[in-house]
């Protein structure tokens, strides 16, 4: 990745364990993209209470990949598994990986 990974936390304090997971998943994403990622910005936000006593994490992964911009915004108000920031991060990065693979396949099919 050309630019350093950016991580933004909103509504809760920095968690070193969560940062380690995000950094590992970003490295994996860069490998999937053939080390062609130019930037990656991850926003992890603790949302408002959607269920009694439950606050859901929202994760946005914004990646620049060989001239294309891929934005994954996992805002799952109905998914109680996203009460766990780790689950929400993994879900967002899984979606980002699928999107990058799709964009890459489209680019190769067009050439």
Residue 11 maps to a domain: yes
Looking at every residue in the chain, the average pLDDT score rounds to 85
Residue 35's pLDDT band (cuts 50, 70, 90)? confident
Which domain CATH number covers 14? 3.30.160.100
Residue 59 maps to a domain: yes
Lowest mean pLDDT, pick from 18-27, 28-37, 101-110: 101-110
Looking at the predicted structure, is the pLDDT value of residue 51 above 60?
Answer: no
pTM above 0.75, yes or no: yes
Full domain range(s) for residue 90: 6-110
Residue 73 maps to a domain: yes
Write down the pLDDT at residue 37: 87
Distance of CA 49 to the CA centre of its chain: 22
Looking at the predicted structure, is the pLDDT value of residue 110 above 80?
Answer: no
Please tell me the total count of domains within the chain: 1
Looking at the predicted structure, is the pLDDT value of residue 24 above 90?
Answer: yes
CA gap 54, 74 in Å, rounded = 17
Residue 50 maps to a domain: yes
Residue 46 maps to a domain: yes
Residue 1 maps to a domain: no
Q: What is the DSSP letter of 26?
A: H
Neighbours of 6 (CB within 10 A): 12
């Amino acid at each position: 990745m050309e630019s350093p990974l950016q991580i933004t936390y909103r509504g809760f304090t920095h968690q070193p364990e969560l940062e380690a997971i995000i950094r590992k998943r970003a490295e994996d994403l860069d490998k999937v993209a053939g080390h062609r990622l130019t930037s990656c910005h991850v926003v992890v936000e603790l949302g408002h209470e959607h269920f009694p006593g439950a606050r859901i994490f929202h994760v946005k992964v914004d990646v620049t990949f060989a001239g294309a911009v891929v934005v994954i915004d996992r805002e799952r108000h109905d998914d109680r598994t996203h009460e766990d920031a780790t689950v929400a991060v993994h879900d967002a990065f899984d979606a980002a990986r699928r999107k990058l693979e799709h964009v890459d396949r489209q680019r190769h099919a067009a050439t």
